Structure 1
Amino acid sequence: MQSSLFRTALVLALMSMVGPFAIDMFLPALPAIAGDLRVAEPVAQNTITFYFLAFGVSQLVYGPVSDMVGRKAPIFAGLAIFAAGSVWAGLAGSIEALVAARFVQGIGGAAVMVIPRAIIRDMYTGHEATRLMSLIMLVISVSPMLAPLAGSGVIALVGWRGVFVFMALASVACIAMAATLQPETLPADRRVPVNLRALWAGARTLMRSGPFLGLTLIGAFGMASFFVFISFAPFVYVETFGLTPTQFSLFFAINAGGFFGASQLAGPLGQRFTARRVMLWGTLGFAAFTVALFVVGSLGGATLAAITAFLFMGNGFMGLVIPTSMVMALEEHGEIAGLASSLGGTLQMLVGGLAVVAAGPFFDGTALPMLAAIALCATASVALALVTLRAAPATA
């Protein structure tokens, strides 16, 4: 059982890394893309925003389809679409073409975000599911730590277009891995014929479920804070603090490391203290550090060291929240796990994308608007947790 758990975690995590790599490896190239394509920074950020939006909305399709035809076929389709979008992005001659290509990438990358979560629900529940989710996040943690550095190296050697060539090759490798190493986890007798009536009925059930919506949005605002950081940090770190793309990659890895390191504690802490308590502690800690950072920044103390230290701690608490909220949200909806995973993922990505869009007009090249948006996301997350978890049983 132990070796099977680790093997499953490794395979699912490597596939799930496609989406994060499409973001993290791309980040050091943003200033160069803005300069090369002769556009303003907010326009260049659309390459991230539209990726998030496509990534989120497309999950509504992959989950129900995977409930109907099984988990593997949609994975193959999504990875193929992602590869096509990567090739297009590498050839794009204008910002409009690049944004469109990134949108296609997001459509494809959504498959390997939503379906692995449904696979986990096919195989495990409770603490074992949380543990598997945490193991997957441990492997995925390689992405924010190494992907920006890899992107910086590729950019230095062949320019920013080479990043997309790498992404295309990685998606082809994932297709081969899914074909040979990942078994089908949804047998034919458990598949659900999907039609508009069934889809609407399932979505209505989920949207009427207070716990599902609350838990999903708790994680959504946590992820939104990270999306804001991803979108604005390249410009803040490179232009405000004068870092090189490689130096930015190192600091980005430190901030992301707090999240993924702490995510490994979510399962053991949930088993010892209950998931409900872990969620409360996580959201409270997340809000405390990010709001404190905003206050420090408002007083003129938004130095590189302060931002790195406070975000490392705040993201650490968020690392307790994300895997726990995902598992708790799906716990009571095993019969429509694909749809629930899709809808949850879509809501999270849409909240994240909208947070970036809402913060965009306030960005002035300094760190303070970014810190304000992160603090607001954290405050929303803890407020939702206090309301949603109040009625949860103490053993949950």
Structure 2
Amino acid sequence: MSKPASIWLIILLAATVAITPFAVDMYLPAMPIIAHDLQSHIGTVQQSLSIFLAAYGAGMLIFGPLADKWGRRPLALFGVSGFALASLFLTFSNSIESFLIARAVQAFCGAAATVIVPGIVRHLYQEHTAKGMSYMSLIMMLAPLLAPTIGSGILYFTQWHFIFLSIFAYAAILLFFIWKFLPEPPRSSSSSNINFFSGYKTVFAMREVRPLIATIMFSSFSFFCYLTAIPFVYIKYYGTSEQLFSLLFAINIVLLMTSNFINSRYVTRYGSPHMVRMALMTAIVFSILLCAVNLLELGLILTIATLAPLMGCLTMISTNTDAMILLKFPDHSGTASAVTGTLRYGCGALAGPVLALTFTGTPVPFTLLMFGGVAGIALCQLWMRQSQKLF
């Protein structure tokens, strides 16, 4: 495949993965308004994020092996079509029940589209998969960078329903480009002949992969603690406006993009394991500082100054760990993506209930849970080193 074609394909793949951050981040500033309009508690609307993540994880569990068996292009077309229709339905939601159901359908269908992406990236970049994932993530990060700003702008001029109408329009345009340009990568005969569950058995049977999967779970829990709690922390606790919230959210996304850019430059030189170790050491420092800032009530500025680098480190850890897992499963990349995706978003779905149980009206529980996720990643690294010594 020629270099220009690969660049455009990476952009298309990034745009496909971006449907998830658009669906997650664009409505964050509207949560209090949605709760008021649907006559529901804001905690229930916040749980819509956990429901989205749980349905997304379930979808990946189902569609991952199907991507290996049936091919990636059909699932992409099906997934984006269903995602678009669910987004259109959300535009007309007038009760919290219909809103939550439509969010679940939106996530489930979106999983069918996004689970196919890592396998295509692996096909394009082979042993440099981590570099390809960083390129894709760098482009894809434009979605969470822009999404809250777009959502806030829509709220400024009109109602929250138009947020989901915008998501529908994006999905409809994406569907056309997928139908027109997305190729079907070659599949081996072994991948097309596997049964539904044999791929999962293959993935979990590999001992050296288990610490990597656990790393994904802990990093995801920390990441989605941030996504779930940050509207409360910025808007409710620190009293920022929806527009300022979008700006502060964008600062964090810029750090995520910077992290992916740094990773794309240095991962081929030093390797993914080294990049994970460096990111983890930095994450430990900033997670401790974040806890200190909020325990001592040092304010919004220092919260941002410690939180943004921490999120960048978590992104670098996740990107490299994903690549390390994918490289071990050339014939089961869809299933491997499904395993990591299901556990990633399943752990992410736990963030909402855990934050609700530990709610104190301050950012302290959120920051302690972020630190707990980083500590879990550190334990996984120790586990991996012990596994390497034994085998």
Does the Cα contact within 8 Å between 1:134 and 1:267 map onto a contact in 2? yes
Letter in 2 for 1:277: H
Which secondary structure state, in structure 1, belongs to the residue aligned with residue 219 of structure 2? helix
Q: Which of 378, 384, 387 in structure 2 is aligned with 1:388? A: 384
Note the C-alpha offset of 1:187: 4.8
2:351 aligned with 1:370, yes or no? no
In the other structure, the counterpart of 1:144 is 144
In the other structure, the counterpart of 1:66 is 67
Letter in 1 for 2:207: G
Does the Cα contact within 8 Å between 2:188 and 2:331 map onto a contact in 1? no
Does the Cα contact within 8 Å between 2:25 and 2:144 map onto a contact in 1? yes
Q: Which of 260, 272, 277 in structure 1 is aligned with 2:274? A: 277
Letter in 2 for 1:193: N
1:315-367 deviations in whole A, cap 9, x for unaligned? 22223211110010111111111111111111111111113322222123321
Q: Which of 343, 349, 352 in structure 2 is aligned with 1:353? A: 349
Which secondary structure state, in structure 1, belongs to the residue aligned with residue 183 of structure 2? coil
In the other structure, the counterpart of 2:84 is 83
Letter in 1 for 2:132: L
In the other structure, the counterpart of 1:163 is 163
In the other structure, the counterpart of 2:25 is 24
2:197 aligned with 1:200, yes or no? yes
What is the alpha-carbon distance in structure 1 between the residues aligned to residue 71 and residue 229 of structure 2? 38
> TM-score, normalised to structure 1's length?
0.93
Which secondary structure state, in structure 2, belongs to the residue aligned with residue 58 of structure 1? helix
Does the Cα contact within 8 Å between 1:211 and 1:329 map onto a contact in 2? no
1:214-253 deviations in whole A, cap 9, x for unaligned? 2122122212212111111112211111111111011011
In the other structure, the counterpart of 1:55 is 56
Letter in 1 for 2:106: Q
In the other structure, the counterpart of 1:293 is 290
5+ residue gaps, structure 1, are none
What is the alpha-carbon distance in structure 1 between the residues aligned to residue 387 and residue 272 of structure 2? 13
Note the C-alpha offset of 1:201: 2.5
Distance 1:88 1:364, change over 3 A: farther
In the other structure, the counterpart of 1:268 is 265
1:17-76 deviations in whole A, cap 9, x for unaligned? 111100111111111112222322221111111000011110012221111221110011
Does the Cα contact within 8 Å between 2:135 and 2:264 map onto a contact in 1? no
Percent identity among equivalent residues?
26
Letter in 2 for 1:323: T
Does the Cα contact within 8 Å between 1:280 and 1:386 map onto a contact in 2? no
Q: Which of 289, 301, 304 in structure 1 is aligned with 2:300? A: 304
What is the alpha-carbon distance in structure 2 between the residues aligned to residue 188 and residue 321 of structure 1? 30
Which secondary structure state, in structure 1, belongs to the residue aligned with residue 197 of structure 2? helix
What is the alpha-carbon distance in structure 2 between the residues aligned to residue 369 and residue 48 of structure 1? 18
Q: Which of 317, 335, 339 in structure 2 is aligned with 1:339? A: 335
Does the Cα contact within 8 Å between 1:59 and 1:345 map onto a contact in 2? yes
Does the Cα contact within 8 Å between 1:279 and 1:385 map onto a contact in 2? no
In the other structure, the counterpart of 2:251 is 254
5+ residue gaps, structure 2, are none
Does the Cα contact within 8 Å between 2:13 and 2:117 map onto a contact in 1? yes
Letter in 2 for 1:180: K
